[in-house]
Amino acid sequence: MSSKAVFDGKKALRGGAPICFPQFSDLGPVASQHGFARNSKFEVAEGELDPSGVNKSHNIVKLVLRHNDETLKMWPHEFMYSITFTLKDQGIEIDVEVMNQGQCEVEFTTALHTYFAVKDITQVGVHGLHAVQYLDSLQGRVTKRQQDEVLRFPGEVDRIYLNTPNEIIIADEATGRHILVSKAATLFDAVVWNPWVEKARATSDLGDEEYKNFVCVEVGRCGSPIVLPAQATWKASCKFEALEAPPALACL
């Protein structure tokens, strides 16, 4: 979590896993960047909370956002978005469901904007994206292909990798820690973002030097929208595991 993160209900916390829905970035009809879900109040649907909001007796919490007067003004669709977090020994599993409760087909894009803590961004490698096509958001979303076997961060990176493999590994080489990002096949894409020096300075809720200590790898459906018929449900799931030793995967 950024040391300058602001929790005032007006914008998403800079850290954790803000939910981009019903659009990722500006890829959809909603005016707000990354949609409205990340600024919305969800209700707790499962899991018992103590007064400070901590889930005290279970390793599961399910949060739900339903259409309401505010969301209907921004996106005229009846929906229910639910997200279930399950703590595991080495990490967390996240399951998402979007129900189209209206009478017309809806389209949306989405992502989980997960921030991963790393010791030093210059010693981070992202594995599993070799030869994958991406949209370079730093160059007007021109289509490119990942040339290097391992994605590294010599500067700002802001890319939408399309139709990626379902396992991606973040190697935090300064600590030897590996984060295994696994996603279900309904999540086609993965965004990789680090703002680097100038953008970190220009971002009010991020410390000037804090770009060094995180990388965002965001699983989602960004390149093309999900088209959900009336009364249908779209499901997705992903898992993030912190491993002390490199996982035995073909991409490492």
Number of residues that bind ligand BG6 (CB under 6 A): 9
Does 210 participate in catalysis according to the annotation?
no
**Residue 163 zone, left/alpha/beta (φ > 0; ψ -120 to 50; rest):** left
Closest CA to 116 of 161, 64, 150, 153: 153
Chain position carrying tokens 């491993």:
243
Distance CA 242, CA 17 (A): 16
Residue 139 in the binding site for ligand BG6 (CB under 6 A): no
Q: Of residues 34, 77, 221, 239, which one binds ligand BG6 by CB under 6 A?
A: 34
Distance CA 212, CA 218 (A): 18
* Strand 167-172 versus strand 214-228 pairing type: unpaired
Q: How far is the CB of 34 from ligand BG6 (least distance, A)?
A: 5
Residue 33 in the binding site for ligand BG6 (CB under 6 A): yes
Residue 164 in the binding site for ligand BG6 (CB under 6 A): no
Distance CA 179, CA 156 (A): 21
Residue 137 in the binding site for ligand BG6 (CB under 6 A): yes
Q: How far is the CB of 119 from ligand BG6 (least distance, A)?
A: 21
Does 127 participate in catalysis according to the annotation?
no
Residue 187 in the binding site for ligand BG6 (CB under 6 A): no
Using CB atoms, what's the residue nearest to ligand BG6? 193
Residue 191 in the binding site for ligand BG6 (CB under 6 A): yes
Looking at the annotation, which residues are catalytic? 113, 218
